[in-house]
Amino acid sequence: APSTDLQAEDATIAQGVVESNHAGFTGRGFVNYDNVAGSYVEFTINAPTAGNYEVKFRFANGTAVDRPLNVAVNGGAATGVGFPGTGAWTTWAEKSLTVPLIAGANKLRATASTANGGPNLDRISTTVPADTEPPTA
Ligand code: GCU
């Protein structure tokens, strides 16, 4: 299934900064969430059709403490997602979540829920559900 990458550094950032001092990121850098609850990154995801989509978050967490994010789509109920330690700030991992999207523009907001803030966030990758892919010739 084709996937679309959206860079965190191009998203809307509240209480966070774009940095590039830890290698291994894609694009121009990553978002370093401020170490505060409520800091967030909000992506606009354009979905070809309504449905459940897999969203993969590429992140690093160089601490031993989970950096959970509350993920909400289009202002709906948030889902808590854990972003555990990856061993180093230069070690990047992916965490998956399935979210319902409407056709067209969707807002996906990932908000830090602890005073530690979020993990360093590189990008999200959204996969079009298999059953909405156009048939191949
Ligand atoms: C360090 C690290 C940052 C990270 C921060 C944090 O300062 O260099 O990239 O975001 O810790 O704990 O959030």
Q: What pTM, to 2 d.p., does this model score?
A: 0.94
Per-residue pLDDT, 2: 76
Residue 93 Cα to ligand 1 midpoint, Å, equals 16
Q: Which residues line ligand 1 (CB under 6 A)?
A: 22, 32, 35, 89, 117, 120
Closest by CA to 40, choosing from 123, 106, 110, is 110
Per-residue pLDDT, 130: 60
Average pLDDT in the 77-93 region?
A: 98
Closest by CA to 81, choosing from 50, 57, 62, is 57
Q: Which residues pair with 126 in a beta bridge?
A: 4, 55
Q: For the beta carbon of residue 130, count every other beta carbon within 10 angstroms.
A: 8
Buried b (16+ CB within 10 A) or exposed e, 5-24: ebbbbebebebbebeeebee
Per-residue pLDDT, 137: 65
Q: How far apart are CA 7 and CA 124, in angstroms?
A: 7
ipTM beyond cut 0.90:
yes
Residue 32 Cα to ligand 1 midpoint, Å, equals 7
Nearest atom (ligand 1) to Cα of 32: 10
Give CA 72 to chain center in angstroms.
Answer: 11
Residue 3 Cα to ligand 1 midpoint, Å, equals 29
